[in-house]
Amino acid sequence: MKILDFLVLLGLHSAAAVIHSLKYIFTVSSQVPNFPEFVAVAMVDDVQISHYDSITKKAEPKQDWMNRVTEDDPHYWEGHTAICLGYHQLFKGYIETFKHCFNQTGGVHILQWVVGCDWNDETGEFNGFRQVGYDGEDFLSWDVKTNTWIARKQQAVITKNNWNNDKERLALYKYSITQEFPDLLKKLLKYGKSSLMRTELPSVSLLQKTPSSPVSCFATGFYPDRAEIFWRKDGEELHEDVELGEILPNHDGSFQMNVDLNLSLVTPEDWRRYECVFQLSCVNDDIITKLDKTAIQTNWSKTGFPLGAVVGPVVVLLLLVVGITGYFLWKKNNNGFQPANTSDTL
C-alpha cells in the first residue's frame, strides 16, 4: 500500500463508528525547487492544527482553539519550534541513509514519516501507527503489537535490522503510542470540542453538465465527514448506473461529496421515481432531494458545472494533497511535541 493511500485510509471513517484521530506527518525533501526542505503538520480528525516549515522556522497554530495549549504550557509554541528544528536535522540524516540504500547520489527525493493514533470513543479502543515512505512508496512500517519495524522494500532490510536493535528507542515508541498519544488526543479534542464535534448539515443541489450528462447530486458544507449519499428508485438504493465520488474537504473545514446518476436509460416519465438521499452520522433525519428537471443547475453554454461548485473543490483538494505530502507531524507529549530527550521516539 502506497504512503498516500495509507493517509487516505486513515482519514476514512465509517458512518456508524465515532473515530477520532491524531496524526503527525513529516516531510523532508532533497533538491525540490521552490519547496521547503522540511515541513511538518499536525492533524486532529483530519483537521490541520499546526504547521512548521524550514523557511519560516516557526511553529504556528492553524486553528484558533489551538492557542489554548498555552493554558497548560505557556512556552508550548517556542518549544514546538525548537523541536522542529531538531527534527529537520534528524530527517535529513534519514533521507541520506535511504539514498544510500538505493545507491542514489543526487536528484529529487522525498521522505515521509507518519505517526499517530486512532481512538474509538464508543469502545475506548486506541490504535497506534507509524509508517515511513520514500519517493512515494512504502519503505518501513512499525508494528505496535510486536514493537518492531517491518521492511516494505528489500532496500529497507538493513535499516530495519539496525532500528530493531535499538531497544531503548523501541521502548520510547511503545510508550508514546500507548500513553502519550491517547492522552494528547483527548486533550486536543477537549480544546477543540466546539469545532471538531460540531454537526453541520449540507446544502444539496442537482447539477448537470449537458442534457446528456449524468445528474450529480452534490452535497456541500457538512460536518463531520461521516456521511453517505446515494440515489434510490422507488425507495430502493441503486447500485447500477451510479458513480459515487470521494468525500473532499472545503476551505472552511467542512466537507463535500457527490453521487452521479446515469439517465441514459431513464424515461422522463420515470424521473419522479428517483431521489437522492444524504445521511449524516448522529443525525436521524435524511435529506431527500427528488429528481426534478426544474431543480437542476447547469451551465451548458460553458464547459461544465458552475465554477463555484467545481473549481473551488479541486483547488482545495490539491492544497490538501500538497499539505499532507509536504507536512510533518511529530510526536506528542501531554501538550504536544516532546523535548529533545525524546526526539528518538518518532
What pLDDT score does 322 carry? Answer: 39
Which CATH class, in words, describes the domain spanning 203-315?
Answer: mainly beta
Give helix 3-11 / helix 307-326 axis angle, nearest 10°. 120
What pLDDT score does 122 carry? Answer: 82
> b/e per residue, 283-293, with b = 16+ CB within 10 A?
eeeebebebee
Which residues of the chain have a pLDDT value below 70?
1-17, 301-346
Mean pLDDT of the chain: 84
The rounded distance, in Å, linking the Cα atoms of 184 and 335 is: 6
Q: Which three cell numbers stand for residue 7?
A: 493517509
**Chain position carrying cell 543526487:** 106
What pLDDT score does 124 carry? Answer: 87
The rounded distance, in Å, linking the Cα atoms of 106 and 86 is: 23
The rounded distance, in Å, linking the Cα atoms of 173 and 85 is: 20
Query: What is the enclosing helix (H) or strand (E) of 140?
Result: strand 137-143
- Report which residue type is found at 235: G
Domain boundaries, given as residue ranges, for the chain? 3-195+320-345, 203-315
What pLDDT score does 116 carry? Answer: 94
145 CB neighbour count, 10 Å cutoff: 6
Are 292 and 233 contacting, i.e. CB atoms less than 8 angstroms apart? no
C-alpha angle with apex 25: 22 to 31, nearest 5 degrees? 175
What pLDDT score does 72 carry? Answer: 85
What pLDDT score does 7 carry? Answer: 44
Closest CA to 45 of 191, 244, 147, 178: 191
Please report, rounded to a whole number, the percentage of residues in the chain having pLDDT higher than 90: 66
**Chain position carrying cell 445528474:** 215
The rounded distance, in Å, linking the Cα atoms of 225 and 210 is: 29
Q: Is the pTM of this model over 0.85?
A: no
Could you tell me the CA-to-CA distances from 278 to 38, 49, 203 in Å, in that order?
40, 28, 10
CATH of domain 3-195+320-345: 3.30.500.10
What pLDDT score does 301 carry? Answer: 55
- Report which residue type is found at 290: K
322 CB neighbour count, 10 Å cutoff: 13
**Burial status of residue 252 (CB atoms within 10 A of its CB: 0-12, 13-18, 19 or more):** exposed
Write down the H helix ranges in 153-239.
Answer: 157-164, 167-175, 181-191, 193-196
What pLDDT score does 17 carry? Answer: 55
Are 221 and 10 contacting, i.e. CB atoms less than 8 angstroms apart? no
Domains 3-195+320-345 and 203-315 equal at CATH topology level: no
